[in-house]
Every structure is written in structure tokens, then in C-alpha cells.
A and B are shown apart, each in its own frame.
Chain A
Amino acid sequence: MLAALWLLAGGVQAATTELPSQHYPVRHGELTPRERAIAVNAWQYFVANYQPTTGLVNAVNKYPSTTMWDTGSYIGALVAARELKIIDKAEFDQRMIKLLKTLNTLVLFQNEMPNKAYNTITAQKVNYLNKPGDIGFSALDIGRMLLWLKIVKERYPEYGNSIDNIVLGWDFTHTVDDCGTLFGAYVGPDKKPVYVQEGRLGYEEYASAGYQLWGFKTCQGSRPEPYSLANIYCVLVPYDTRDPRLTSQHNYVVTESYLLHGLEMGWDKSDDREDRVNEFSHPWMKNFADRVYQAQENRYLITGVLTARSEHQLDKAPYFVYDTVFSDGFNWNTITDKGKYVPEVSAISLKAALGMWVLWDSAYTDRLLDTIENANEKGLGYYEGIYENGDGPIREFTGNNNGIMLEALLYKQEGRLLKFNTDKPKAHDFAPSLWEKRLVDAFEENNTKRNRPFISSTPGVKNWCEQTGVAQRTEPSCQSCKCAACQNEDAPIKLPPVAMSCLKP
């Protein structure tokens, strides 16, 4: 049936073959001693960069600043460390209690959402130079945080109360619009906040999943459109067609966005409570991820360059690059945030390599693991990457890199990281969480003021409303009056062809 869909594309000669990566299983099972050692090494980063005053962890080694994205990665690392028994419950609890306190008391940007950056020692809002500053918020960073808060809430319901309070403190008015598009904020020249659509194919849908888990409708944000295909070593790789020449955002295709959705959401739809290995219910994430993976494996097979691309830090100027499979018109583009081409700093990203290793069991990812397994320093964690040109390691250490590596190893042991604490949310006696209780209360003013979503009623919620006499807040019946573009939300996705005819077995 899929083969029939592939024939849809106009003049591109669709190969009727599938990509090999579509048949590589994920790795699943107890960690071997070798894999456990990697987890222990990666955790060293979070030992070295922990800030006891706030419970936060530096995003980059020794630099006391972090973002919501990187704090999401830290939470991932913390969960993995506990589940892989690198730390015990006591240490986990001590870290988690402090962290959730800090997140609950963060001073927000414009009293809306968490600022783009915070000082990890003082928890003050800062700019990118780590000087006090109100600089805006990132809808993507917050999406990742929402996703991890949900995972913690479901895995460890004892933290549900603290976590719900964090999210109840946020104001989503300017973050999610009526059509489910995500917006970030920056401060304009007149010092007023400017809200702009944020997110491109891959990251946009990953972040949207975080919002969906809290009941938001992200219809536009979750759609793959607008996209086109790039022919990369015969693999047709989708990229966002919103034009980087006309907007300030690059349309990079990297491993990380697809990888994180795979690890955390299992490439499943956000409402999929089933958790089965090698079954993926998201209509296209797995398919697009396979293409991004296959382009990289093909590059190795065709050019001999080991490839695992992601955005990453550098240990020298320009300090940060989008090291991509495709961006701004070019395959294998490596660009600074200003768009300058810097091919000399392209690298094997360790988080990408280990993530690919766990999500695609193949000879190629075995080789990737052999390449990176000892690319660490004692007491500091894993290097950010290994330069493709042979210049050795990127001697920089980050929470995001080491956190995602820990996530990957936990995925091997447990499968999808999002585990619901009960499979019976529809049971009559299922107790709604604080979040649900607030959101269904028709007399809770902040529900409208902070643009909180309407959550679907369950027998448990209904039962609770009846018992406590709460008038239930219900969604207006006319769905499409909110957003005309979102009427066909459930229309089936037509997948484009995966390969050019040049890819012959």
C-alpha cells in the first residue's frame, strides 16, 4: 500500500524499493557492561556541573548558564541515571526536589513563560552573555521541557503536584495560537516583546508533541507541511520550505529532532498509550527519521566519511554550528547561526551517533559506537563531537550531548521513555491530576487568561466534578470556527517517495 503512495510524486522516478533503514529494528535489552560504562561516563558531566544552590546544571561545562532545552536534557539524564542504577532514589529525590523548586520559582519573561536563559547559580534571567536580561522565550525549548515534565509526572506521580504547579504558572497566550502554531518571543528594538512563529520541520513537531501531552491542540505545528525533498545520495530527505532567505530561521535537517521524538515519544502519536517495541503510530515521524538516517549511512558508504550530524558546540570560534544533513539550500551544510558556511568544523556528533545506534540496529551504527565509545574525559563526560576532517575531538562538554546519550542508553533498556503510570485513564475511579482539576473548572479564571487548553473529559474527571460540585469547562462545539485551516486534521498523510531510482540494490 505504501508503495502505491510513493508513486504519487510528479516527475521524480520513484524507486519501488524501500530504504534499508525502514527495516532496521531498534536495539532493545539489558545494557552490556560496555554500554553501562558509557552511561556512567556520561553521568560524570552532571556530577561535575551540578549547581547545588539551584539544582540546575550548566548547559556547557563550567559556564553557569542554561536554557529550558538543556534543563530538559538534564532531567532526561537524571531519570536515566536513576533507572540505570547509576544513582539511587535518594540522590534522585534530592536533585529533583531542588530542581522543581527552582523551576516553580523562576522569574518569567514578561510574567508569561520561562526566559530563554537562566544563570544556574542564581536562577536569574540572563542574556546569552550570562548578564541579567529579559530576552524572550523559546517555544521549542519549552516544548522539550513540557515533554520531560510529563515524563517525570507519569513515571514518578509523587512529583505530579510540583510539576503541575510549574505549568500552571505559565501563560500560553502568545505561545500557542488558535491554529496550533507555536510562537517564541524576542525583545524588539523598542524593548517590547515580538512574537514570531518558531520551529521548522522536525523540531517543530517534536516540540508540538510536548504541548500535546498537556492537552494543547497543535494542528498546524504538528503538520509536516510545508516541505520539499532534497536528493541526498539517492535518499529523498524532507526539509522545511519556509524560506531562510526571507526569515531569520534556518531550515536545518539534523538527526536530533527525529532522534528525540524516537527516544521519548517512540515515534508514536501523543495519545498513544500503548508502548510496544518496533511499533510506531506517528503517521510520518518514523518514515522521515529513516530518511535522515539513511542519507547519513549512504554518505558513509559512498564517500567513506562517518556521519552523524547534529547541531553542536565547538571548542573554538564560532563556538556553535548547525552541522546538518541539509540546510539553506545545500546538502551537508555546516553553518553558523548567521548562516556562514564553515565546512572545516563538521563533526560526528556523539549524541547523534549514540541515538542512531540505539534506534537503528545496523552494521553502520556498530561502527559509530566503536568510534565514539571512549571519546570522553574522566570526570567531564563525553566530547561534543569528533571532527570529520581528522582534527580529533571537540574538547567541549555539554549537558545536552551527555543527557541525550544517557537517554539513548535508557531507551535500549526500556524502550520509549514516556511511560504512562496507568493504562486506565478512562476508569471511573481514576483520580485526575491537579492540572486536570484546574483545567476542567469553569470558574478558574486563569484557564482563559493563560490560554490553557480544553482537555477531554473522562469518566474520572466527570466523577470528580460531580463529587466536588465543580462546573465543568467544556470546549465550544464548533471546532473549525477557531481555525479554518484545521478542519481536516485527521486526513491521512500521503508519504512522498523515499528514494531516487539511482538507489538500486
Chain B
Amino acid sequence: MLKTVSLIRLGLLLLIAVAIALVFSSFQESQGGRYLRSGAWHYPGRMGELTAEERQWAEVAWRYFKNNTQSGTGLINASDNRPVTNLWQIGDSLIALTAARQLALIDEVEFDDRLTRLLATLNQLPLTNLKTPNLLYNTSNATMVNYSNKPAILGWSAQDIARLMTGLRIVALWHPAYSEYLDRVIMRWNFCNVVDDKGQLLRGGMRDGKLMPQPEGRLGYSEYGAAALSLWGFPSARSVTPPYQSVIVDGIAIDVDARDPRTTYTPAVVTNTPYVLGGLEYAWQTPGQDATLLTMQQKRAQNIYRVQEQRWQKEKVLTARDEFNLNAEPWHIYDTIFGNGYAWNTLGDNGNYYPTRALVSTRAVFGLWVLWKSDFTDALMTMTRLTRDNQRGWYEGRFEATGGYNRMITLTTNAMVLEALFYKHNYGPLIRSVPQESYFNTRLSDVFNPPRLCMPQERKPGGQQP
């Protein structure tokens, strides 16, 4: 009798245990479960599986990559049908490829095929005589070219290099099997003239037939680039803390680089991209043991979000500012929250004011929409979700002055659409850790065989003394 009771009890207990296990396992698969396991409460914005419509958005963006991949090199044209790219855009391509795989837009075979072609090209990329990658490459044959796509050496950009290195890190985090080949990409490059021991990013340009390094970066892109280099262990201090001043835009304090555009001939602008990318990739705080804490970055991002939202609320102007390309003079526009002295400035590369070119930027809208869930970003997306050609990809945006489309289609915009949707699908930022063991770290720990390329391990700790 006693035995039977205890057997029944045991059976009941077993049943409960099975039920709990069943519930728990289904919970594991549910959105709430993923939300909890991903630690998403740490992060802002929209999170969760893509809806059917959002999946279509991702497919349109990926369409751009399908149309513009050069099969010989694996490189992607920087704008529709134009066979040129820079290192920033190669970085964009790597992130877009990772996103496409995670969002199941491509299968394992296609991913491997695309990445392999790209890695083969990157690991044999022709370099300048200072062993730095050139500013521009032809996408069909991977030769170094100038702005008219003619063979030439122009110099390099540490910011562009940093974006590529972010892309390499993201691929390695999601596909660690490839990390050795990803690491090799940058191990041929000489970083002596890309970042100095104090952490100042450097760009190179031709002067009197010689490549000359000089400081690069203004507030926004400067910290973004430095943060990427610090993920690999390079010094970043100076570029993470550029000089800044506060200006007041519609009553809100906005930080802008303090170096004077009138005397340095470098625009001091505030746009969304560097702040949005900082949010999408590392929630404005770089991971790792010697984390570079971008303490101001989050506050700055919040303020530029707020001032755009407020312009929509108070002045009824849909606002999402970024730089973009035009298919007419002056070809490239810095469309800013603040630039060269003026709030909401819209600047050509020549420094002239083009107020009718102000744009609701597609790339900015996707970044703001995913990082801030609000009526404002809903309104932005309502007017942006159809700003596209389903056969070619997303347009650059919609002009403030007319409501018309800017029909340019670029790699960066389509990559940022995918990156933003990847953030949502991933329940937060894409980079939450850096690998401790890697080919890069192992190779460079060999003190008897240094590559003499100013790799992090070759530099004096604490930076060079003057």
C-alpha cells in the first residue's frame, strides 16, 4: 500500500518534472527566452525576430549585394554598378554578409563562397609602398585606383581601415572558424603610419610625390575609429578623447569637434552614423579587459537623437541627418545636425551651403529606428520603408525640401539597413566580447620574430615618450 502511494507520488513528480522541462524548453525557443538569455535588458531599442515586412526590408538590402558582387574578387561595388570601393565599404560588406547569414538570407554554402572569395582578395590586396592599403580599389580586379577609377596610389584612411577591422571582428565573432584567415588580412599591413603610440589616427596623402601621414578624425568618427582599433589592442587614447566644445542646437547642448574648420579645412560636423554604429556594435562601450570606456558617447548619441526628435515634434520636419551621395553636383553632401558653425547645415565638399539638398537619410532612419523605439522613429520609418527599389536596394533617402527620392543606391546605406535589422534580430549589440585566443595574438606573442609593423605587441607600453 505504502509502496503504491509512493510509486504514484514518484510518477506525479516525474510528470511535473517532464512538464517543467517541456515548458522550459519551449520558453528557450520563445522570444521572451531569447530576450532573457541575450541580456537584452541592458540595451536600448527594438529587439526580437524580424516581422515578415522587416524580412522583406532585409531582402531588398541584400538584393544590392547580389547585384553588385564582383565574382572575380568577391568585392562589392560601393554604389550601384560603379566598380570602386574603399576600406570602409569593404568593412560594410563583411558586416552585411554576416547579417545576411544570421538573418538566413543566405545559406552556409553561399556564405562560405562569398567570404572565401573576399578573404582571398583581401589577403593579397596590393598595398602602397608604406604597406598600407590604398584609399580606393577597383572592385573587378582589386587594383589600387583614384577617384576616376584609374590606377593610382592616393594614400590611406585610418578611419576606413578601422571600419574594415570592425567588419573582420564581427565575422570572426559569428564564424570563429574563419578567424585565422580574417586575422591574416591585417597582418600584412604596416600600422606605424595608421595610428601612433599615443593613439592618434593617421591618414596618408600624396604630397610632392611622397606619401605623408597626418592626423585624421573629428569628434564622432574619431572615437568610432579608435574604438575599433582598440578592439585589436592598438593604442587609442588620443583619438578617443578629441577636443570638443558644446554648441546649442534648438536648446540642446550638442558636442562638436573644437578644431576650427576655417583654418584646418576639415569640416567639423555632427551626423548620425558614428553614433548609430557605436550603438549597434557595442552599445557605446567597447568590450574587453582593457575596455576603452567611451563615457561621453552614449550621452552624445542620446542628445543627437533628442534634437532630431524635437525638430520633428516642434517644427514638424522629419529629420534624420547623415552624409550621402548625389547623382549630380556636388556629388557628396555632409547633411548635418551641426556643421561648420551652423545648426542643420547641409554642406558640399566645397564647403558651400546646399539647403535644398537636406535629406531624410535612409541609413540614419534605420539606425535611429532600431536603437530608439518611439513615435518619432515610427514616423521616420513610415516614410522610409518604401524608399527603395525592390530590384536594386534602398535609396539614399528622401529630400526634406520636396519629399522626392534621392535615387542613389549605395553599399553603405544597404549595409546599414542589414546591420540595424541584425541588431534587432540579435537582441542588442553585435560585439560583446573580444577573443582572447586567436591567430593574431599567438603570432604576435612570438617576441623573437616580430613582424616590425607596429603591431600592438611591438609598441612600448604607455606610448612613446617624446
Chain A residues in contact with chain B, CB under 8 A?
Answer: 9-13, 228-231, 236, 243, 245-246, 328-330, 341, 343, 500, 502
Contact = CB atoms under 8 A, between A and B. Distances in A.
A83 B306 CA distance: 57
17 contacts: A10-B250, A11-B253, A11-B306, A11-B307, A12-B248, A12-B253, A228-B248, A229-B251, A231-B245, A231-B246, A231-B248, A245-B342, A246-B355, A341-B262, A343-B263, A500-B253, A502-B246
A165 B429 CA distance: 77
B341 A328 contact: yes
Interface centre among B246, B307, B340 (most CB of A within 10 A): B246
Given A245-B353, A330-B262, A341-B262, A9 B341 contact: no
Given A329-B340, A330-B262, A330-B341, A11 B247 contact: no
A231 B247 contact: yes
Contacts of B251: 9-12, 229
Nearest to B262: A341
A12 B252 contact: yes
B314 to A, nearest CB: 9
Q: Which label, helix, strand, loop or mixed, suits the secondary structure of the B interface? A: mixed
B338 to A, nearest CB: 9
Nearest to B352: A245
Contacts of B341: 328-330
Contacts of B310: 10
Interface centre among B262, B263, B353 (most CB of A within 10 A): B262
A245 B343 CA distance: 12
B262 A229 contact: no
A343 B263 CA distance: 10
B246 A500 contact: yes
Interface centre among A12, A230, A243, A246 (most CB of B within 10 A): A12
Contacts of A231: 245-248, 253
Contacts of B307: 11
Given A12-B253, A230-B247, 15 more contacts: A10-B250, A10-B252, A11-B306, A12-B248, A12-B251, A12-B252, A228-B250, A228-B343, A229-B251, A231-B247, A231-B248, A245-B342, A329-B340, A330-B341, A502-B246
B456 to A, nearest CB: 36
A230 B260 CA distance: 16
Contact of B248 (A236, A245, A330, A341): A236
Contacts of A243: 342
Contacts of A10: 250-252, 310
B266 interface: no
Contact of B253 (A13, A245, A341, A343): A13
Interface residues of B, number: 21
Interface of B: 245-248, 250-253, 260, 262-263, 303, 306-307, 310, 340-343, 353, 355
B313 to A, nearest CB: 11
A260 B252 CA distance: 32
A156 B262 CA distance: 51
A246 B306 CA distance: 27
Nearest to B310: A10
A341 B341 CA distance: 13
A330 B341 CA distance: 5
A368 B262 CA distance: 29
A13 B303 CA distance: 12
B342 A229 contact: no
A415 to B, nearest CB: 35
Contacts of A13: 253
B258 to A, nearest CB: 10
Contacts of B343: 228
Contacts of A229: 248, 251
Contacts of B353: 245
B381 to A, nearest CB: 24
B310 to A, nearest CB: 7
Contacts of A12: 248, 251-253
Nearest to B246: A231
User: Which 5 A-B residue pairs are closest in the complex by CB-CB distance?
Assistant: A329-B341, A10-B251, A11-B252, A245-B353, A341-B262
Contacts of B340: 329
A344 to B, nearest CB: 11
A431 to B, nearest CB: 52
Contacts of A245: 342, 353
B350 to A, nearest CB: 14
Nearest to A8: B251
Nearest to B250: A10
Nearest to A233: B245
